[in-house]
């Protein structure tokens, strides 16, 4: 039988253990998006290695003309490249400012789609990983080949057979642009009827959110 | 990494069995704590018996520490855990109604099921009343739909609201909880002496 004095000591011990666990938690902290990605990598890395989330520029063009889809094009490039050219309806968010948008990304509607865009794929891939870790796995994709590929395919100045500029590191805008037209460039919103497209595999799927509910009685 | 996709792991029937076991354990614990007795529950509001506050606060603090330690170690994805979205004014009004019902009836919805399971008449009537109330709400909610969806703040947590690291918030809440429980026990003894609770 537990006497009042023993009960009192047990209460004190329990409180001390709980307080210690909470203090240790405050010291240890919660995982950053990068650390959280390490936990999720086994589950989500195949989506990258199997190119399941890299969408063809032609598919993104289709989404841009689809009124049903609530499309968020997130341009991660610097201001200079953004001013030179960016996609119609895109939103420029530098990678270091993404954390302010996780809540918004986590609360997309059922027809919401996010596409991360860089000049190539590296920073967009990194942003995708962080979004998966920090924004409750939104319906997000990456523009395959980035803006460099987009311009090669859709710019009227492009010679699609010409190889990209050599000797330039990744994530630089390799396509020569004479003026800073931003979204006024003809390639910012190509017309699919005039452009014509090659065949591609559709990868974007609208997510049906399973509403998990809870509560206590 | 949790939360676990039970249906994918163990099939639909397996998932239902898990829910059943969790429900059984929950009811067992509540009955063991004496929460199937409306007199014990109502006594909380007169500070005669602090079991409700002690058990609930302790459960909340322990669960909170476990959840965030599991998140810190990569066992649980906290962003995937359901957090009731915040509707400020509907929450306040609903809380007032539930509090009034708790003190009038001596039960909250979960404990009324515990009491009904042991065939306590007051619990059975409470469950019946709750069923009527739920049905009545469903039939009339369209009349006050605007209010019901008003003051929506989304998935809002204390750490979001305060702008503090999660661990700091947890430590603060545990500290406050322990102090509150200790102070409440002191107050109870001052009001009613050192007599045993209940």
Residue of B nearest to A41 (CA): B1
Instruction: Establish if B171 touches chain A: CB-CB under 8 angstroms.
Output: yes
A31 vs B contacts (CB less than 8 Å): 71-72, 74
A213 vs B contacts (CB less than 8 Å): 82
Q: DSSP secondary-structure letter at B136?
A: H
Query: Residue B113 is encoded by which pair of tokens?
Result: 């099921």
Tell me how far apart the alpha carbons of residues A185 and A72 are, in angstroms, rounded to a whole number: 19
Residue B81 predicted with pLDDT over 50: yes
Is the CB of A107 less than 8 angstroms away from the CB of B154? yes
Beta bridge partners of A71: A113
Per-residue model confidence as pLDDT tens digits over A162-197:
555 554 547 888 888 888 999 999 899 998 776 666
Q: Inter-axis angle of helices B109-117 and B121-140, to 10 degrees?
A: 140
Domain count of chain A? Answer: 1
Q: How far apart are the first and last CA of chain A?
A: 32
**Residues A128, A144 contacting (CB under 8 angstroms):** no
Tell me how far apart the alpha carbons of residues B119 and B117 are, in angstroms, rounded to a whole number: 5
On whether residue A109 sits in a domain, the answer given is: yes
Tell me how far apart the alpha carbons of residues B68 and B77 are, in angstroms, rounded to a whole number: 9
Tell me how far apart the alpha carbons of residues A198 and B58 are, in angstroms, rounded to a whole number: 62
Per-residue model confidence as pLDDT tens digits over B8-45:
888 999 999 999 999 999 999 999 988 988 888 888 88
Per-residue model confidence as pLDDT tens digits over A43-57:
899 999 999 999 999
Tell me how far apart the alpha carbons of residues A131 and A129 are, in angstroms, rounded to a whole number: 5
On whether residue A15 sits in a domain, the answer given is: no
**Residues A72, A91 contacting (CB under 8 angstroms):** yes
Query: Which DSSP helix (H) or strand (E) runs through B121?
Result: helix B121-140
> Is the C-alpha dihedral spanning B104, B109, B110, B115 positive or negative?
positive
Report the complex ipTM.
0.82
Query: Which domain range does residue A142 map to?
Result: 52-191
Tell me how far apart the alpha carbons of residues B105 and B94 are, in angstroms, rounded to a whole number: 16
State the nearest Cα–Cα gap between B168 and chain A, in angstroms: 5
On whether residue A39 sits in a domain, the answer given is: no
Is the CB of A38 less than 8 angstroms away from the CB of B74? yes
Q: Which residue has the tokens 């702008």?
A: B163
Residue of A nearest to B197 (CA): A4
State the nearest Cα–Cα gap between A23 and chain B, in angstroms: 6
Instruction: Establish if B141 touches chain A: CB-CB under 8 angstroms.
Output: no
State the nearest Cα–Cα gap between A96 and chain B, in angstroms: 18
The 10 Å Cβ neighbour count of residue B185 is: 17
On whether residue A118 sits in a domain, the answer given is: yes
Average pLDDT on A136-155 reads: 91
Which one of A25, A39, A138, A209 would you mutate to disrupt binding with B, by most B Cβ within 10 Å of its Cβ? A25
Q: DSSP secondary-structure letter at A163?
A: P
Peptide bond into B14 cis (omega under 30): no
Q: Among A173, A127, A145, which residue's Cα sits nearest to residue A57?
A: A145
Per-residue model confidence as pLDDT tens digits over A8-66:
888 899 999 999 999 999 999 999 888 888 888 888 999 999 999 999 999 999 999 99
Q: How far is CA A16 from the centre of its chain?
A: 43
Is the CB of A31 less than 8 angstroms away from the CB of B110? no
* Band (B131; pLDDT cuts 50, 70, 90): very high
Average pLDDT on B120-134 reads: 94
Residue of A nearest to B63 (CA): A18
The 10 Å Cβ neighbour count of residue B63 is: 10
> Counting beta carbons within 10 angstroms of the beta carbon of residue B96, is it exposed (0 to 12), middle (13 to 18) or buried (19 or more)?
exposed
On whether residue A16 sits in a domain, the answer given is: no
On whether residue A34 sits in a domain, the answer given is: no
Residue A87 predicted with pLDDT over 70: yes
On whether residue A160 sits in a domain, the answer given is: yes
Report how far apart, in Å, the C-alpha atoms of A201 and of each of A55, A57, A205 are.
8, 11, 12
Is the CB of B165 less than 8 angstroms away from the CB of A216? no
Tell me how far apart the alpha carbons of residues B144 and B42 are, in angstroms, rounded to a whole number: 31
**Dihedral angle, C-alpha A100, B157, A131, A57, nearest 10 °:** -70
Is the CB of B171 less than 8 angstroms away from the CB of A22? yes
pTM over 0.90: no
pLDDT score for B48 = 85
On whether residue A210 sits in a domain, the answer given is: no
Residue of B nearest to A37 (CA): B74
Is the CB of A217 less than 8 angstroms away from the CB of B111? yes
Average pLDDT on A82-109 reads: 92
Instruction: Establish if B175 touches chain A: CB-CB under 8 angstroms.
Output: yes
State the nearest Cα–Cα gap between A29 and chain B, in angstroms: 6
Q: Which domain CATH number covers A96?
A: 3.40.250.10
Query: Which residue in the set B62, B68, B78 is minimally distant from A25, CB to CB?
Result: B68
User: Under 8 Å CB-to-CB from A197, ≥6 apart: which residues?
Assistant: A58, A61
User: Range with the lowest mean pLDDT among A134-138, B22-26, B130-134, B169-173?
Assistant: A134-138
């Amino acid at each position: 039988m537990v006497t009042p004095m023993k009960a009192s000591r047990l209460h004190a011990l329990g409180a001390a253990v709980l307080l210690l666990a909470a203090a240790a938690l405050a010291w240890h902290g919660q995982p950053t998006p990068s650390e959280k990605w390490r936990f999720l990598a086994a589950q989500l890395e195949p989506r990258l290695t199997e190119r399941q989330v890299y969408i063809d520029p032609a598919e993104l063009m289709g989404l841009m003309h689809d009124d049903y889809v609530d499309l968020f094009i997130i341009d991660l490039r610097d201001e200079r490249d953004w001013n030179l050219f960016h996609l119609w309806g895109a939103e420029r968010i530098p990678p270091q400012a993404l954390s302010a948008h996780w809540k918004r990304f986590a609360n997309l509607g059922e027809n919401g789609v996010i596409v991360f865009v860089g000049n190539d794929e590296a920073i967009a891939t990194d942003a995708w990983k962080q979004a998966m870790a920090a924004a409750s796995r939104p319906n997000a994709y990456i523009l395959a080949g980035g803006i460099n590929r987009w311009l090669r395919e859709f710019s009227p100045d492009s010679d699609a057979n010409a190889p990209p500029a050599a000797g330039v590191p990744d994530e630089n805008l390799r396509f020569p642009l004479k003026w800073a037209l931003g979204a006024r460039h003809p390639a910012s919103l190509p017309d699919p009827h005039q452009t014509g497209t090659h065949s591609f595999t559709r990868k974007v799927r609208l997510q049906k959110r399973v509403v998990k509910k809870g509560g206590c009685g | 990494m949790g939360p676990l996709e039970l249906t994918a792991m163990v099939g639909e029937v397996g998932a239902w069995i898990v829910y059943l076991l969790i429900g059984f354990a929950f009811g067992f614990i509540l009955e063991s704590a004496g929460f199937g007795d409306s007199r014990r529950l109502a006594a909380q509001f007169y500070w005669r018996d602090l079991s409700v506050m002690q058990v609930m606060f302790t459960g909340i603090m322990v669960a909170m520490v476990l959840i965030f330690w599991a998140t810190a170690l990569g066992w649980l994805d906290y962003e995937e855990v359901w957090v009731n979205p915040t509707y400020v004014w509907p929450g306040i009004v609903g809380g007032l109604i539930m509090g009034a019902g708790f003190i009038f009836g001596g039960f909250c919805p979960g404990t009324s099921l515990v009491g009904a399971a042991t065939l306590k008449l007051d619990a059975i009537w409470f469950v019946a009343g709750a069923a009527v109330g739920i049905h009545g709400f469903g039939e009339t909610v369209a009349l006050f739909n605007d209010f019901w969806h008003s003051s929506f703040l989304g998935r809002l947590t204390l750490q979001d609201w305060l702008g503090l690291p999660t661990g700091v918030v947890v430590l603060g809440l545990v500290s406050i909880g322990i102090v509150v429980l200790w102070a409440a026990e002191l107050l109870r003894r001052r009001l009613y002496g050192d007599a045993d609770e209940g």
